[in-house]
Amino acid sequence: MIENQDKVNYIQIMGNYKNIETEFIERTLHLISQYESILHQYNFEEQYNYTLLVNCLLGLIVLPKEKTISYLPKEFLGKELKKQMGINMSSFNSDIKDLKDLIIKLRNCIAHFDITFESKDEDEFLIDQIVFKDKELGEDYVVASFIPSELLSFIRYYSFWLISVIREHQK
């Protein structure tokens, strides 16, 4: 049991949120960066970077979407935007025309855990692709298929964009 003084110290260390809409996203991104900085300390079998990333999607896409749906961009998902996001080999369903629709559909996939991890070589059991499906739109409806490094790039791009838009709307 935590004593009162210990509880005060614990709260001061953790810090409360001044602006939960942006700080939760920022702290989630920091969590990913902190893990990346210590990842090399673990044997390959003990590295859970994609597990952490998928867990963090709750804090980067699901939770913020609930408060910031009106801020989401209707920016066309063309080659230029994909390039800015670091997307070269990953793909989005051709039905999805803008970033807002993509985020909403990804949110549904994440919230319903309609995510699969695919490996090209079952013997090595590496994650080569992370696939987001929306079974409400059909059993085989693929919203997006990311190679792991591009999912991280996409998440960072989107999160930094969202933080700046939220701050702009709060002025």
Instruction: Describe the chain by its helix, strand, coil percentages, rounded to 5.
Output: 60, 10, 30
**What is the distance between the alpha carbons of residues 143 and 106, in angstroms, rounded to a whole number?**
7
Handedness of CA 81, 107, 140, 146 (dihedral sign): positive
> Edge-to-edge, what's the strand order for the sheet holding 115-118?
91-92, 142-146, 129-133, 115-118
Neighbours of 150 (CB within 10 A): 21
Amino acid at 34: Q
- Across 17-21, 27-31, 46-50, 62-66, the highest mean pLDDT is recorded for 27-31
Most trustworthy range by pLDDT among 32-41, 58-67, 108-117: 108-117
Sketch the domain layout of the chain as residue ranges: 4-170
pLDDT in tens, 99-157: 989 999 999 999 899 999 998 877 667 888 999 999 888 888 999 999 998 999 999 99
pLDDT of residue 66: 67
Which residues fall within 8 angstroms of residue 2, CB to CB, at 6 or more apart? 10
pTM for this entry: 0.81
